[in-house]
């Protein structure tokens, strides 16, 4: 089974493509996490509660390494434990690190984060493409050997991404060159290689789905960053697979935003997490299964 | 004092631009480190001995995060301790992580690795540019506030770097666009922003030194990767400052290579480290100080 098959099967089983982003920020934690223990310890308790809520509902979570690395080795130890806990709960874990380096160093990242006996044991990793093919191959090789995957940055959700990604060269933008490279690798590996394409670029999302039919997509930028369900409709294959859609702050800190703030308040932040996940599942249902797959079990949240 | 002033002053004080890369690999460690303790604990003892040897000789060290991250949180705890130890010994520490992410996540990396009260407390960080300007600004802001620096990847030392970096757009390669952006930031901040330019591209090194007169350069690819002293001559300003030149395996595992293998053997691996550093200092002296600065004290290793 390739990574694409793994993630698509999880999307089918859960009946939705929601990817919960684990981006803990000290200043946004509910009050009960803001005193007593160290910040990394609070992150662990907070993320584990989110994982408990998310595991029955969604296919995958995406911890953002930066928020853990910010607290040094102690933060990274906690990230490691959170990844392990999420996988025990049956979730696919995408390590959002945007890592990359030249050949033999890329091998160390790949083996460490995705390898069979790796310390991190993630299912997938986000990878930055600026260093080119020989920096990406070690990740592909390691991923393909273990049903793991990588998501190469193609068209990122931030406005400034245009600076390099949209430069025109050889009649097409740089991101298109990266996308064509991704498709080659995805086709060759049966889907070990995917792409990050922001929900904030609806037009390019359609173009890039077309250019990369074999690649699983990771679509950030939904919700807080402005991407809507209609914007991301083109990301999916006809059977509703092919993409996972990330929402981080809009879910994990849902208690800070209406209507959840009024409905649950900070004391019931877990209910806000659950309600916001179900709300997002409902929103995506409008666009997700254009042709429901025969074995779809999309029944969790009507 | 800006980061450029800090690193240039260190280069002047030590009289050479050698940057010792801390890339520990289990399989290359001398036998005395290969048994007994955990791999990260062995890395700590090994790197600290190298720091002891390097501190009186060179201006800076560059730990490669991948080799520590490979061992999970335990590896990252060790990396944190090594950074602290190197700074105590008076070395400038460049965290080689090639990190980057969108806005608020980039802030977390920047604060965590370079910020005033950061867990890591590095002096500089390598940063990948693919996500564009708004992903880079948080690093620049944090660095400029604390005499810290970033090195943006411009033209990397690996052959595959050409895939994206050499695409022609608007009459010039992508790396040139990045270089011009670096120069803007470097000029504006007085040198908080530098660039990575591989020793393996002698011609582009001259071009890029010209395009980025304000930017400190980090030049990898010397030695093992094939870059020679003549290749990197154009990286320096006339007074011998402006660039640091990295060598990792060629120094830290010098005992594996001739002439050091015959001369010292594995048992005297520390002598091989010292001899290889002094050899590199000697090689660079031919090209480094084209016009020796008045206050140069380049007297360590004749």
d(CA B41, CA A117): 19
pLDDT score recorded for residue B15:
95
A window 96-135, beta carbon within 8 A of B: 96, 98-103, 105-106, 108-109, 111-113, 118-120, 128-135
User: With an 8 Å Cβ cutoff, are A80 and B73 in contact?
Assistant: yes
Instruction: Tell me if chain A has a CB within 8 Å of the CB of B251.
Output: no
Q: Provide the token pair at B149.
A: 């620096």
Distance from CA of B174 to the nearest CA of A (A): 8
- Name every residue whose Cβ is closer than 8 Å to that of residue A275 and which is 6 or more positions away in sequence: A254, A260, A263, A264
d(CA A88, CA A128): 28
Q: Provide the token pair at B221.
A: 């690819």
pLDDT score recorded for residue B289:
62
B window 55-94, beta carbon within 8 A of A: 64, 66-67, 69-80
Q: Using the predicted structure, report yes or no on whether residue A204 has a pLDDT greater than 50.
A: yes
Distance from CA of B140 to the nearest CA of A (A): 15
Q: Using the predicted structure, report yes or no on whether residue A195 has a pLDDT greater than 80.
A: yes
Name every chain B residue with its beta carbon within 8 A of the beta carbon of A63. none
- What is this structure's pTM? 0.95
Q: Which sequence spans correspond to the domains of chain B?
A: 3-288
Distance from CA of A104 to the nearest CA of B (A): 10
pLDDT score recorded for residue B226:
84
Name every chain A residue with its beta carbon within 8 A of the beta carbon of B118. 70
A window 150-169, beta carbon within 8 A of B: 153, 156-165, 167-169
pLDDT score recorded for residue B10:
97
Instruction: Tell me if chain B has a CB within 8 Å of the CB of A19.
Output: no
Picking from A203, A141, A205, the residue whose alpha carbon sits closest to that of residue A179 is A205
- Selecting among B98, B278, B279, B285, the annotated active-site residue is B98
Instruction: Tell me if chain B has a CB within 8 Å of the CB of A230.
Output: no
d(CA B234, CA B250): 22
Please check whether residue A110 is in contact with residue A139, taking contact to mean a CB–CB distance below 8 angstroms. yes
- The residues of A carrying an active-site annotation are 98
The half-sphere exposure of A89 on its side-chain side, counting CA atoms within 13 A, is 23
d(CA A282, CA A236): 16
By CB atoms closer than 10 A (0-12, 13-18, 19+), residue B6 is: buried
Q: Using the predicted structure, report yes or no on whether residue A297 has a pLDDT greater than 70.
A: no
pLDDT score recorded for residue A291:
46
Name the CA radius of gyration of chain A, rounded: 18
User: With an 8 Å Cβ cutoff, are A128 and B130 in contact?
Assistant: yes
A262-288 pLDDT, tens digit per residue, is 999 999 999 999 999 999 999 999 887
Distance from CA of B98 to the nearest CA of A (A): 7
* Three-state secondary structure call for residue B57: coil
- Name every residue whose Cβ is closer than 8 Å to that of residue B108 and which is 6 or more positions away in sequence: A25, A64, A66, A67, A69, A70, B101
Nearest Cα residue in chain B from A220: B102
Place of tokens 């093919």: A133
pLDDT score recorded for residue B290:
57
Q: How far is CA A167 from the centre of its chain?
A: 26
Instruction: Tell me if chain B has a CB within 8 Å of the CB of A222.
Output: no
User: With an 8 Å Cβ cutoff, are A66 and B106 in contact?
Assistant: yes
Q: Are strands A172-173 and A168-169 parallel, antiparallel or unpaired?
A: antiparallel
| A3-288 under CATH 3.20.20.70, yes or no | yes
Residue of A64, A67, A76 to mutate, testing the B interface (most B Cβ within 10 Å of its Cβ): A76
Q: Provide the token pair at A257.
A: 């935003």
B98 carries an active-site annotation:
yes
Q: Using the predicted structure, report yes or no on whether residue A164 has a pLDDT greater than 70.
A: yes
Distance from CA of B121 to the nearest CA of A (A): 10
Please check whether residue A107 is in contact with residue A69, taking contact to mean a CB–CB distance below 8 angstroms. no
Question: Nearest Cβ partner of A163 from B111, B113, B133?
Answer: B133
Per-residue confidence in pLDDT tens, chain B, 302 aa: 899 999 999 999 999 999 999 999 999 999 999 887 899 999 999 999 999 999 999 999 999 999 999 999 999 999 999 999 999 999 999 999 999 999 899 999 999 999 988 999 999 999 999 999 999 999 999 999 999 999 999 999 999 999 999 999 999 999 999 999 999 999 999 999 999 999 999 899 999 999 999 999 999 999 878 888 999 999 999 899 999 999 999 999 999 999 999 999 999 999 999 999 999 999 999 887 654 444 444 433 33
Nearest Cα residue in chain B from A133: B160
User: With an 8 Å Cβ cutoff, are B71 and A112 in contact?
Assistant: yes
Phi, psi of B12, deg, nearest 5: -65, -45
Q: Are strands A60-63 and A18-22 parallel, antiparallel or unpaired?
A: parallel
Q: How many other C-beta atoms are found inside a 10 Å radius of the C-beta of residue A299? A: 7
B window 21-40, beta carbon within 8 A of A: 23, 25
pLDDT score recorded for residue A290:
57
pLDDT score recorded for residue A296:
40
By CB atoms closer than 10 A (0-12, 13-18, 19+), residue A298 is: buried
Please check whether residue B182 is in contact with residue B193, taking contact to mean a CB–CB distance below 8 angstroms. yes
Could you tell me if the ipTM is greater than 0.90?
yes
Distance from CA of A173 to the nearest CA of B (A): 9
Q: How many CB pairs under 8 A join A and B?
A: 208
Q: Provide the token pair at A287.
A: 């666009």
Phi, psi of A149, deg, nearest 5: -140, 165
Residue of B158, B179, B219 to mutate, testing the A interface (most A Cβ within 10 Å of its Cβ): B158
Q: Using the predicted structure, report yes or no on whether residue A67 has a pLDDT greater than 50.
A: yes
pLDDT score recorded for residue B295:
42
d(CA A271, CA A53): 9
Q: How many other C-beta atoms are found inside a 10 Å radius of the C-beta of residue B1? A: 10
d(CA A138, CA A132): 12
The half-sphere exposure of B292 on its side-chain side, counting CA atoms within 13 A, is 11
Name every chain B residue with its beta carbon within 8 A of the beta carbon of A23. 105
Taking CA atoms, A8 is separated from A92, A135, A159, A240, in Å, by 11, 27, 29, 9
- Name every residue whose Cβ is closer than 8 Å to that of residue B234 and which is 6 or more positions away in sequence: B202, B205, B206, B209
DSSP β-bridge partners for residue A274: none
Place of tokens 């089918």: A12
């Amino acid at each position: 089974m390739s990574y694409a098959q793994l993630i698509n099967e999880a999307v089918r089983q859960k009946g939705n493509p929601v990817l919960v982003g684990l981006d803990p920020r000290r200043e946004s934690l509910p009050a009960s996490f803001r005193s007593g223990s160290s910040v990394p310890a609070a992150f662990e308790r907070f993320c584990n509660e989110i994982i408990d809520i998310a595991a029955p509902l969604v296919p995958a979570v995406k911890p953002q390494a930066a928020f853990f690395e910010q607290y040094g080795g102690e933060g990274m130890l906690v990230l490691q434990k959170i990844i392990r806990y999420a996988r025990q709960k049956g979730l696919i874990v995408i390590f959002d690190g945007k890592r990359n380096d030249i050949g033999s160093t890329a091998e160390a990242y790949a083996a460490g984060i995705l390898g069979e006996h790796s310390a991190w044991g993630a299912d997938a990793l986000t990878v930055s493409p600026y260093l080119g093919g020989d920096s990406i191959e070690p990740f592909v090789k390691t991923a393909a050997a273990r049903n793991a995957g990588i998501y190469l940055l193609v068209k990122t959700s931030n406005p400034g991404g245009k600076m390099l990604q949209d430069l025109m060269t050889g009649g097409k933008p740089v991101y298109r060159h990266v996308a064509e490279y991704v498709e080659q690798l995805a086709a060759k590996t049966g889907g070990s290689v995917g792409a990050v394409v922001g929900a904030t670029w609806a037009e390019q999302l359609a173009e890039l789905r077309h250019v990369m039919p074999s690649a699983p997509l990771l679509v950030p930028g939904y919700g807080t960053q402005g991407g809507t369900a209609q914007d991301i409709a083109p990301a999916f294959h006809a059977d509703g697979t092919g993409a996972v859609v990330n929402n981080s702050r809009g879910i994990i800190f849902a208690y800070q935003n209406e209507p959840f703030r009024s409905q649950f308040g900070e004391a019931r932040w877990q209910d806000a997490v659950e309600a916001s996940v179900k709300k997002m599942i409902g929103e995506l249902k409008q666009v997700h299964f254009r042709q429901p797959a025969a074995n779809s079990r999309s029944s969790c949240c009507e």
